[in-house]
Amino acid sequence: MKLTDYFNVLLKDTVNLGQVKLDLLDSRFESVYKALKADEQIGPLILGKTPQGSWAHRTIINPVGDNEFDADFMLDMSENPDWADDPKKYIEEVYAALHRHSTYGNMPHSRKCRCVRLVYANSMHLDIVPHLDLADGREVIVNRDDNDWELTNPQGFTDWMKTKDTLANGNLRKVIRLMKYLRDHKNSFTGTRSILLTTLLGEQVTELRTLLDPGYYSDVPTTLLHLVNDLDSWLQDRPTKPSIPDPSGSGVTFDHRWEQSTYSYFRDRIHAHAAEIKEAYNEENKDRSVELWQGIFGDAFKAPATSSSSTKFPAAPVPATTVGRSGRAG
C-alpha cells in the first residue's frame, strides 16, 4: 500500500529539517556574511552570497541524534590580481578573516579542500565556499589541495534540480530526503555523497515516463517506488563505476567523489531497497504493508495522529451499518 499519510508524518516529524533550525541557519548565514563583508582586508572583494548544496536544493534533512547539521554557501568574490597564480589564497584569506574576528576567531574553524568550515557547538557547521567569475569567462571555486581552480555552475545545478522536481510533481526532493534518511539514520549505503545521490535520482526523472504514465510521479510513495527501481535497473547494467557528469553542464564530473568499492556497496544496497520498497508498496494487507515500510524506515513511519486526539470531546461512534469496505490505502 502507498500509505501516503504515513509518509507525510515521516517527512514532517522526522526527516525534514525543522523551521526552527532553518531559521537559525539563515540567521547565522547572514551574520557570518556581514562579518566577512565588514573585514577590512577581504571585505572589498566580496560581492554577494548564495546558499549552496542541499540547503539550496531543499534536500537538507535532520541530522542523526545529536550530530550537527551542515550547510554550504557560496561567497561570491572578485579577482585579486596579486593572487592570480595562487588560487588557494582565497580560502586562506577567508579563514584569516574569521580568525581575526572577535566572535568567530574563538569558534572552531578550519580550511578544507574547497571551503572554510565554521563550527557551532553541538548544533551545526557552515562551509564557506569562495566562488568567482574569472575575467576569462570561467566560473570557478578553489581546490586548495591542488592550488587550482575548479569549474562550477551552482545556479545551473539548482535550475536543473527545480526542473526535475517540477516534472516529478514536487516529489523528487522528498524522495531524495527519504533516501538520505536511509543513508544517515539507517546506515545504508554509507559513503555515498549527497551530490551523487541527488544527481543519480534526479537523472531518473524523465518526461517520457510521464507521457507513458501520467501518474508515474503522482505522490511520494509512487515516486519513491519508481525512482529507486529505475535507478536500480540503471545501476545493475553498470557493475563498474560509471562516470557521473555534473548535470548543470559545467563540464566536470563527480567521479572523484567515490571509489569502486563505495559504488559497488551503493549498487548492492539500492538493489536491496528497490525490492523492499516494491514489496511494501504492492502489499494489499495494511498491517503487513506498515510492517514492511517500517522495516525500511523504522518506527518513525507511523499513522498521523487522529483528529479525536486533539479535540476536547471523543468522536461519535460509527454505526455498524455504515462501515465501508476495506481496500488499498493511499
The pLDDT score that the predictor gives to residue 315 is 38
In sequence order, the 6+-apart residues with CB closer than 8 A to the CB of 61 are 15, 16, 17, 54, 69, 177, 180, 181, 184
Rounded to whole angstroms, the Cα distance separating 185 from 37 reads 37
pLDDT for the residue 308: 39
- Look at residue 166 in the predicted model and tell me its pLDDT: 97
Residues 255 and 131 placed together within one structural domain of the fold:
no
Tell me the whole-structure pTM to 2 decimals: 0.88
134/245 same-domain check: no
Question: For position 76, which CATH number holds?
Answer: 3.30.460.90
What is the pLDDT at residue 86?
A: 96
Q: How many domains does the chain have?
A: 2
Tell whether 22 is covered by a domain: yes
Task: Give the H/E segment covering residue 75.
Answer: strand 69-77
22 and 54 together in one domain: yes
Domain assignment present for residue 321? The answer is no
In this structure, is residue 307 part of a structural domain?
no
In a shared domain, residues 214 and 178: yes
pLDDT attached to residue 63: 87
What's the pLDDT at 310?
A: 36
**Mean pLDDT of successive 10-residue segments in the chain (330 residues)?**
97 93 92 97 96 89 83 95 95 97 96 96 90 96 96 94 97 97 93 96 97 97 98 98 95 94 98 98 98 96 70 36 32
Look at residue 276 and tell me if it is in a domain: yes
pLDDT at 313: 32
Question: Do residues 50 and 118 both lie within one domain?
Answer: yes
Q: Is residue 304 part of a domain?
A: no
Amino acid 97: pLDDT: 97
pLDDT value at position 56? Answer: 86
Burial grade of 243 (CB within 10 A; 0-12, 13-18, 19 or more): exposed
Q: Which of 133, 153, 173 corresponds to the end of one domain?
A: 153
Residue where one domain finishes, among candidates 153, 169, 203: 153
Return the SS3 of 124: strand
In a domain, 193, yes or no: yes
User: In this structure, are 78 and 110 located in the same domain?
Assistant: yes
Helix, strand, coil shares, percent, the chain, to 5: 50, 15, 35
Distance from C-alpha of 135 to C-alpha of 115, rounded to nearest angstrom: 22
Q: How many residues does the chain have?
A: 330
Rounded CA-CA distance 198/161 in Å is 9
Domain that holds residue 127: 17-153
> Quick check: is 236 in a domain?
yes
Model pLDDT, residue 41: 95
**Does residue 229 lie within any of the structural domains?**
yes
The verdict on 112 and 174 lying in the same domain is: no
Instruction: Name all contacts of 76-80 with Cβ < 8 Å and 24+ positions apart.
Output: 76/46, 76/47, 76/48, 76/49, 76/50, 76/131, 76/132, 77/42, 77/45, 77/46, 77/47, 77/130, 77/131, 77/132, 78/45, 78/47, 78/132, 79/132, 79/134, 79/135, 80/45
Q: How far is Cα 220 from Cα 198, in angstroms, rounded to an integer?
A: 16
Backbone angles phi, psi at 16, to 5 degrees: -65, 140
d(CA 214, CA 234) in angstroms, rounded, equals 22
Cβ(141)–Cβ(129) below 8 Å: yes
- Cα(93)–Cα(35) distance, integer angstroms: 13
